[in-house]
């Protein structure tokens, strides 16, 4: 592997989003994030204060989700959620677009809503979740273009709650659709190191995953083996 554990860790948003998670589950997830010094945790909005408390001083950012998981809450609610998240200490936000508006061809409404969330975030990076499982390629492209025009920092493949998640083809399409100013985040089914590396090869630089520990421990084992083999030959 050409990656170190530290390099891959800083590409991961450790996901702590399942609806049944308890406060203890959030604590355990934040402990994993701190141990590996990942880029961020992505927690439910109600868990932002706890995550901020647990991760203060670790260098791990606290992100949360807006309009999650369906994206159909009114814009005013998404804006209010974003303002609350920032007020409580979140430093990144992942918002779900209104999929129905996009599929109806109402691109202007989608773009305006993204812009409203970007403004409410006050400079914190906004990652726009397209939920590709429900979109045609043309709709994916339109969502990417609208996200960039509206000032988003990332376009993101999935919530992880749709029938399918991130695919190489979708991620490559998203990367081709936006300029270098906008990054691509893969989420939804990113569970192995090999998946992550393949996605990085098409230009993905951030990954949402709940399998952080497994991915990073796999990389550590492979890198240790790669170092051990030449020593054994000698």
pLDDT at 231: 52
Distance, CA of 96 to CA of 126 (rounded, Å): 10
3-state secondary structure of 38: coil
Give the pLDDT of residue 227.
85
Do you find a cis peptide bond into 69, omega within 30 degrees of 0?
yes
Is pLDDT above 70 for 233? no
Q: In terms of C-beta density within 10 A (0-12 exposed, 13-18 middle, 19 or more buried), how is residue 159 classed?
A: buried
Residue 2: pLDDT band (50, 70, 90) is: confident
Q: Which residues are catalytic?
A: 94, 156, 185
pTM: 0.95
Task: Give the mean pLDDT of the chain.
Answer: 96
| Model confidence at 230: pLDDT above 80 | no
The gap between the terminal CA atoms of the chain, to the nearest Å, is 21
pLDDT for the residue numbered 228 = 79
The token pair at 158 is: 């999935």
Cβ-count burial 98-121 (b if 16+ within 10 Å, e if not): bbebbeeeebebbbebbbbbbebb
Cα(76)–Cα(202) distance, integer angstroms:
35
Reported as a pLDDT band with limits 50, 70 and 90, residue 229 is low
pLDDT digits (tens, 9 = 90+) for 10-60: 999 999 999 999 999 999 999 999 999 999 999 999 999 999 999 999 999
For the chain, how many structural domains are there in total? 1
- 57, burial (CB in 10 Å: exposed 0-12, middle 13-18, buried 19+): exposed
Place of tokens 């203890």: 24
Task: Find the domain containing 100 and state its range.
Answer: 5-233
53: CATH: 3.20.20.70
The 3-state DSSP class for residue 24 equals helix
**pLDDT higher at 231 or 53:** 53
């Amino acid at each position: 592997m050409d990656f170190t554990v530290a390099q891959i860790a800083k590409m991961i948003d450790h996901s702590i989003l399942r609806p049944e998670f308890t406060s203890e589950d959030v604590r355990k997830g934040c402990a994993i994030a701190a141990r590996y010094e990942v880029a961020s945790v992505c927690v439910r909005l109600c868990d932002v204060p706890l995550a901020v408390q647990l991760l203060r001083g670790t260098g791990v950012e606290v992100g949360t989700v807006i309009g999650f998981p369906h994206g159909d809450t009114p814009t005013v609610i998404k804006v209010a959620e974003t303002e609350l998240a920032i007020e409580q200490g979140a430093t990144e936000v992942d918002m779900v677009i209104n999929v129905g508006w996009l599929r109806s061809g109402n691109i202007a409404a989608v773009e305006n809503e993204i812009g409203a969330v970007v403004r409410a975030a006050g400079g914190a990076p906004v990652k726009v979740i397209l939920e590709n499982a429900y979109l045609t390629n043309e709709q994916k492209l339109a969502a990417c273009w609208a996200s960039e025009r509206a000032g988003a920092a990332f376009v993101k493949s999935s919530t992880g709650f749709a029938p399918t998640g991130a695919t190489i083809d979708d991620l490559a399409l998203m990367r081709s659709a936006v300029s270098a100013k906008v990054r691509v985040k893969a989420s939804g089914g990113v569970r192995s190191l090999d998946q992550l590396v393949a996605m990085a090869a098409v230009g993905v630089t951030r990954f949402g995953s709940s399998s952080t520990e497994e991915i990073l421990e796999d990389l550590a084992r492979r890198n240790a083996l790669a170092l051990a083999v030449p020593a054994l030959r000698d």
